[in-house]
Amino acid sequence: MYRETPQPIHLKDYRPPEFLIDRVELRFELDPECTHVESRLDLRRNPAAPPGGGDLWLDGEELRLTHLAIDGRVLASTEYRVDPRGLTLYQVPDRFTLETQVEIEPSLNTALKGLYQSGDLLCTQCEAENFRRITYFLDRPDVLARYTTTLIADQARFPVLLSNGNPIARAELTDGRHSVTWEDPFPKPSYLFALVAGDLSLIEDRFVTASGREVRLQLFVEPHNRDKGEHALNALKKAMRWDEERFGREYDLDFYMIVAVSHFNMGAMENKGLNIFNDKFVLARPDTATDADFDGIESIIAHEYFHNWTGNRITCRDWFQLSLKEGLTVYRDQEFSSDVGSRAVKRIRDVRALRTHQFAEDAGPLAHPVRPESYIEIDNFYTATVYDKGAELVRMQSALLGPTTFRHATDLYFARHDGQAVTIEDFVRCMEDASGRDLSQFRRWYEQAGTPELFIRGHYDAATWTYTLNVRQETPPTPNQPIKRPLHIPLAIGLLGPDGRESPVWLAGEPEPPAPGTRLLELTEPEQQFVFTGLSERPVPSILRGFSAPVRVHDDLSDADRLFLMAHDRDGFCRWDAAQTLHERLILALVADETHPIPEDYLAAFRHALGDTTADRALLAEMLTLPSETYLGDRMAVIDVEGLHRAHRHLMCELGCRLRTELLAIYDSHAETGPYVFAPEAVGRRALKNLALSYLVYAGDESGLACCRAQFETAHNMTDVMAALGLLVDQGGDEAEAALQSFYRRWTGEPLVIDKWFSVQAKFARPDALERVKALIHHPDYSPHNPNRVRALVGTFAKTNQVCFHAVDGSGYRFLVDQVLELDPINPVLAAQLLKPFERWRRFDAGRQALMRTELERILGREGLSSDVFEVASKALA
Ligand code: PHE
Ligand code: ZN
């Protein structure tokens, strides 16, 4: 909690640490009420740092210091000073051992930073700057040390005691306590430290690495979740094999441990050898988890595993470099998911998420570059920009280098920087050194915020058989960055002949045409022209294939061109994108004019697609899914909340009516047969079936409704149950209430399923949605102390229920801010996360803007606000 205005930290102020820590010995006497932490640090002056004043600063927060000694000598009170942020030791020697003892209170730690209690467990979360809540330390990622950790706790209450690395000693103590000592042979930054203590049940598997070493894979869950760990372990084994094959990366310890906890602010944490997970991203059984849950688990398990090389073995010099590990690791998990599932579908989902969340961030008051230049609270920078745009930057470099050279470049990165704390610059340098390419202009992507826009015009000249593409790039201004320079943009394109076949993308002046197919153009100028030759007829250009760069494209294609691409493009992403643009234009036309007709050729295209029994089911479902109201709003000059909702509904309803026969046929022919399997084909079938069902129900179709009821009653997998429940709740009435009640009764005792029960009630634009959400805040199962529960109810309401959250009377805004203010003293990270929807506030009409501004000001008027919430609210208003 801050008293004065929190001050930003700047990248330009980075200085190497004055001291290094070679070895750390920790001894914990664990107790939820009062834990004693003893530490012994071997410190020495950093030869690489400019000489300082001789004092040593150590970070430390919320610690009660009980002992302090240098080389065995207890310090007098004149030799140091303690303040709320840390400890200053006056005039220390060049090399010494520091002993400290502190006390901390895990059971009162509701912020879930440092050592905290989750149910009956004790666990830690140290990224980014929370190790300082455990002991006094140089809590910065460029200080790498070897850790030995002894955990002591009551044996009955905490039979399992875990920390990083390998267990090297165990002992039973006489007072009912026991101890386990762990040693981590790899030097690591403090943010990767972890410990877990509790009564956990072990599910064990094994993996033999490429070089023949056996690794024990240990998944720890609370005993009643033993039957929900198989999927996560399988995902882990797949990820380990994939990283060996694709990146040549082998695992390096004898144990790989994963612990599932039910209180966690984020998705999961890559602590060395001991990942700690939000249990939502570990636990799954067909009847408790949806396909989306299974999918999320697979990719997050992989993500944390991949961090072992990109994050842990090679870490970040400072937190401005966060995307060095996160962008690269997201890129790696995306590639993994593409290889084990469907590449096109994965790409489509990632692009949809990027356009919805990251583009909005780039267009809002908190826009920041992938490598930010300043921050107040680093917890606020685990953003879509750092993660997902960061991954796009890695993807673009891999496209520019090509697969073989990119692999050489990553090999070089791993070889050159293993064991170091490095910068994004070091990564890009490896890309350059391995390829001989000059990426100086490309580096601007890391420095410039904002989504570049491409304006593309095509012209066919029948006389010369040439097709000319004119491409102009422009990046809009963002806070503190009024002027943008042109970027180096890889633009993948194809040219389709009238028969739908690929033409060679042959640049005028080249002696011979290349083989037909995709070609990567490179944009570097504000405006560029490409002349393609050898085209006897006007081609239809397939632009930004595979979404080759995170940009917005404004082209001059006609609806007919888009229908053509939708039917013929070999690039799955472009087929989907063509369909999305058609949906989008139609919905926006309907917002402007409710009577706008639904074009027959549009309907015919979808009728045709639905009839194509050979097409990939998942891809078809993606094509038929309308863009969300949130995304569509971002495409309007001023967001018309009600108009969009009406138009969206209207189109769903029309599609349901006009394609009824085809949709019913899909529903009937895609019924579940046999037991649930999580495999791309089966997931795609369920997605398409449930999409068909939703159109039918929105159209008020009686047989659709009957199918929906039956599905809710009889389905054995959570994907189908939730699809039906959502539709019933959206319809409202007694049937919805009855369904909710039976669902609740069936699933009490499964918190992750109860989260779904909360969120399904917050999601839909029912007139009573806000009243219902407010009532649910008082439900005995609701708790502000469990982030998953808060996000399920409050987060879902503010993020997905556009109509009710943006109610004209401001009731939705008031409700959210009441919740944020109540949560802030409990859990500032979570409180700040919930404020995300307010970042769009300037995109609405004057009335709503005024209401949102008032609420943001109300936040800033609160005394004792956390720096997390202060940063978001104050920057939103700036
Ligand atoms: N480093 C984690 C990841 O992306 C995310 C995280 C950040 C978790 C901060 C907790 C706290 O894998
Ligand atoms: Zn990560």
Q: How far is the CA of 329 from the centre of ligand 2 (A)?
A: 6
Mind listing the pLDDT tens digit for each residue in 518-545? 999 999 999 999 999 999 999 999 999 9
313 pairs with which residues across the strands? none
**Residue 801: inside a domain:** yes
Check pocket membership of 303 for ligand 1, CB cut-off 6 A: yes
Task: Please check whether residues 374 and 420 belong to one and the same domain.
Answer: yes
**pLDDT above 60 for 3:** no
User: Rounded to whole angstroms, how far apart are CA atoms 854 and 861?
Assistant: 10
**Residue 857: inside a domain:** yes
Query: 875, 867, 873, 841: which is closest to 376 by C-alpha?
Result: 867
Task: Return the ligand 1 atom nearest residue 265 CA.
Answer: 10
Q: Among the three residues 447, 474, 493, which one is the final residue of a domain in this structure?
A: 447
The whole domain housing 768 covers 748-878
132: Cβ contacts below 8 Å, ≥ 6 apart: 59, 60, 61, 63, 86, 114, 139, 190
65 pairs with which residues across the strands? 102
- Catalytic, out of 222, 270, 304, 335: 304
What average pLDDT does range 787-799 have in this prediction? 98
Q: Which ligand has the nearest atom to the CA of 113?
A: 1
What average pLDDT does range 805-815 have in this prediction? 98
User: Rounded to whole angstroms, how far apart are CA atoms 429 and 214?
Assistant: 35
Task: Please check whether residues 578 and 711 belong to one and the same domain.
Answer: yes
Task: Return the ligand 1 atom nearest residue 311 CA.
Answer: 1
Are 59 and 129 spatial neighbours (Cβ–Cβ below 8 Å)?
yes
Task: Return the ligand 1 atom nearest residue 382 CA.
Answer: 7
Task: Please check whether residues 459 and 442 belong to one and the same domain.
Answer: no
Active site (annotated) includes residue 304: yes
Task: Please check whether residues 568 and 671 belong to one and the same domain.
Answer: yes
User: Rounded to whole angstroms, how far apart are CA atoms 380 and 370?
Assistant: 13
- Mutational pocket test of ligand 1: of 259, 270, 329, the residue with most ligand atoms within 8 Å of the beta carbon: 270
Residue 507 is classified by DSSP as B
% of the chain exceeding 70 in pLDDT: 100
% of the chain exceeding 90 in pLDDT: 99
Q: Among the three residues 549, 573, 606, which one is the final residue of a domain in this structure?
A: 549
Task: Return the ligand 1 atom nearest residue 270 CA.
Answer: 12
Place of tokens 């906890």: 261
Are 490 and 549 spatial neighbours (Cβ–Cβ below 8 Å)?
yes
Q: Give residue 605's identity as a one-letter amino acid code.
A: A
Please give the full DSSP string across 300-336, using - where no structure is assigned. Answer: HHHHHHHTTTBTTTBEESSGGGHHHHHHHHHHHHHHH
**Residue 177 C-beta-side C-alpha neighbours within 13 Å:** 12
Task: Please check whether residues 367 and 388 belong to one and the same domain.
Answer: yes
**pLDDT above 50 for 414:** yes
Task: Please check whether residues 625 and 706 belong to one and the same domain.
Answer: yes
**Residue 491: inside a domain:** yes
Protein residue closest via CA to atom 9 of ligand 1: 127
**pLDDT above 80 for 710:** yes
What average pLDDT does range 43-64 have in this prediction? 95
Q: Which ligand has the nearest atom to the CA of 141?
A: 1
Are 469 and 541 spatial neighbours (Cβ–Cβ below 8 Å)?
yes
Q: What is the ipTM of this complex?
A: 0.99
Check pocket membership of 125 for ligand 1, CB cut-off 6 A: yes
User: Rounded to whole angstroms, how far apart are CA atoms 487 and 450?
Assistant: 12
Name the region of 674 (left: φ>0; alpha: ψ -120 to 50; beta: rest): left
Q: Among the three residues 447, 477, 496, which one is the final residue of a domain in this structure?
A: 447
Q: How far is the CA of 330 from the centre of ligand 2 (A)?
A: 7
pLDDT at 338: 98
Query: 829, 772, 781, 822: which is closest to 801 by C-alpha?
Result: 772
Q: How far is the CA of 46 from the centre of ligand 2 (A)?
A: 29
- Mutational pocket test of ligand 1: of 124, 188, 266, the residue with most ligand atoms within 8 Å of the beta carbon: 266
**Residue 301: inside a domain:** no
Task: Please check whether residues 876 and 785 belong to one and the same domain.
Answer: yes
Check pocket membership of 386 for ligand 1, CB cut-off 6 A: no
Mind listing the pLDDT tens digit for each residue in 365-409? 999 999 999 999 999 999 999 999 999 999 999 999 999 999 999
- Mutational pocket test of ligand 1: of 191, 269, 308, 385, the residue with most ligand atoms within 8 Å of the beta carbon: 269
Task: Please check whether residues 393 and 505 belong to one and the same domain.
Answer: no
Mind listing the pLDDT tens digit for each residue in 321-345? 999 999 999 999 999 999 999 999 9
Task: Please check whether residues 328 and 399 belong to one and the same domain.
Answer: yes
Is beta strand 274-278 parallel, antiparallel or unpaired with respect to 255-261?
parallel
Protein residue closest via CA to atom 12 of ligand 1: 269
User: Rounded to whole angstroms, how far apart are CA atoms 220 and 204?
Assistant: 9
Mean of pLDDT over the chain: 98
Check pocket membership of 129 for ligand 1, CB cut-off 6 A: no
Protein residue closest via CA to atom 3 of ligand 1: 269
Task: Please check whether residues 734 and 801 belong to one and the same domain.
Answer: no
Check pocket membership of 326 for ligand 1, CB cut-off 6 A: yes
**Residue 196: inside a domain:** no
Are 499 and 513 spatial neighbours (Cβ–Cβ below 8 Å)?
no
Task: Please check whether residues 596 and 739 belong to one and the same domain.
Answer: yes
Q: How far is the CA of 383 from the centre of ligand 1 (A)?
A: 11
Check pocket membership of 377 for ligand 1, CB cut-off 6 A: no
**Residue 277: inside a domain:** no
> Using 50, 70 and 90 to split pLDDT, how confident is the model at 611?
very high
Check pocket membership of 268 for ligand 1, CB cut-off 6 A: yes
- Say how far residue 508 (Cα) sits from the centre of its chain: 43
Q: Take residue 529 and report the two structure tokens written for it.
A: 């022209």
User: Rounded to whole angstroms, how far apart are CA atoms 149 and 273?
Assistant: 14
Name the region of 864 (left: φ>0; alpha: ψ -120 to 50; beta: rest): left
> Using 50, 70 and 90 to split pLDDT, how confident is the model at 5?
confident
Q: What is the CATH number of the domain that holds 406?
A: 1.10.390.10
Domain count, the chain: 4
Q: What is the CATH number of the domain that holds 851?
A: 1.25.50.10
Q: How far is the CA of 20 from the centre of ligand 1 (A)?
A: 25
What average pLDDT does range 797-813 have in this prediction? 98
User: Rounded to whole angstroms, how far apart are CA atoms 517 and 536?
Assistant: 17
Task: Please check whether residues 635 and 723 belong to one and the same domain.
Answer: yes
pLDDT at 1: 47
For the chain, first and last CA: distance in Å? 21
What average pLDDT does range 615-641 have in this prediction? 97
Q: How far is the CA of 194 from the centre of ligand 1 (A)?
A: 13
Q: How far is the CA of 316 from the centre of ligand 1 (A)?
A: 13
4: Cβ contacts below 8 Å, ≥ 6 apart: none
Query: 359, 324, 155, 293: which is closest to 755 by C-alpha?
Result: 293
**Residue 872: inside a domain:** yes
Helical H segments across 612-701, by residue range? 617-624, 629-634, 641-658, 660-669, 680-698
pLDDT at 2: 45
Other CB atoms within a 10 A radius of the CB of residue 170 amount to 10
Check pocket membership of 269 for ligand 1, CB cut-off 6 A: yes
**Residue 267: inside a domain:** no
Q: Is residue 382 helix, strand or coil?
A: coil
Q: How far is the CA of 13 from the centre of ligand 2 (A)?
A: 25
What average pLDDT does range 445-472 have in this prediction? 98
Q: How far is the CA of 786 from the centre of ligand 2 (A)?
A: 22
User: Rounded to whole angstroms, how far apart are CA atoms 689 and 706?
Assistant: 14
Task: Return the ligand 1 atom nearest residue 387 CA.
Answer: 4
Mind listing the pLDDT tens digit for each residue in 181-236? 999 999 999 999 999 999 999 999 999 999 999 999 999 999 999 999 999 999 99
Task: Return the ligand 1 atom nearest residue 307 CA.
Answer: 12
Mind listing the pLDDT tens digit for each residue in 246-258? 999 999 999 999 9
What average pLDDT does range 620-643 have in this prediction? 98
Q: Take residue 352 and report the two structure tokens written for it.
A: 């949809």
Protein residue closest via CA to atom 1 of ligand 1: 269
Protein residue closest via CA to atom 2 of ligand 1: 269
Query: Omega of the bond prior to 128 within 30 degrees of 0, cis?
Result: yes
Q: Which ligand has the nearest atom to the CA of 112?
A: 1
Check pocket membership of 304 for ligand 1, CB cut-off 6 A: yes
Q: How far is the CA of 801 from the centre of ligand 2 (A)?
A: 28
Query: Is 0.95 topped by the overall pTM?
Result: yes
Are 479 and 367 spatial neighbours (Cβ–Cβ below 8 Å)?
yes
- Give the range among 597-601, 611-615, 792-796, 870-874 with minimum mean pLDDT: 611-615
Check pocket membership of 123 for ligand 1, CB cut-off 6 A: no
Protein residue closest via CA to atom 11 of ligand 1: 127
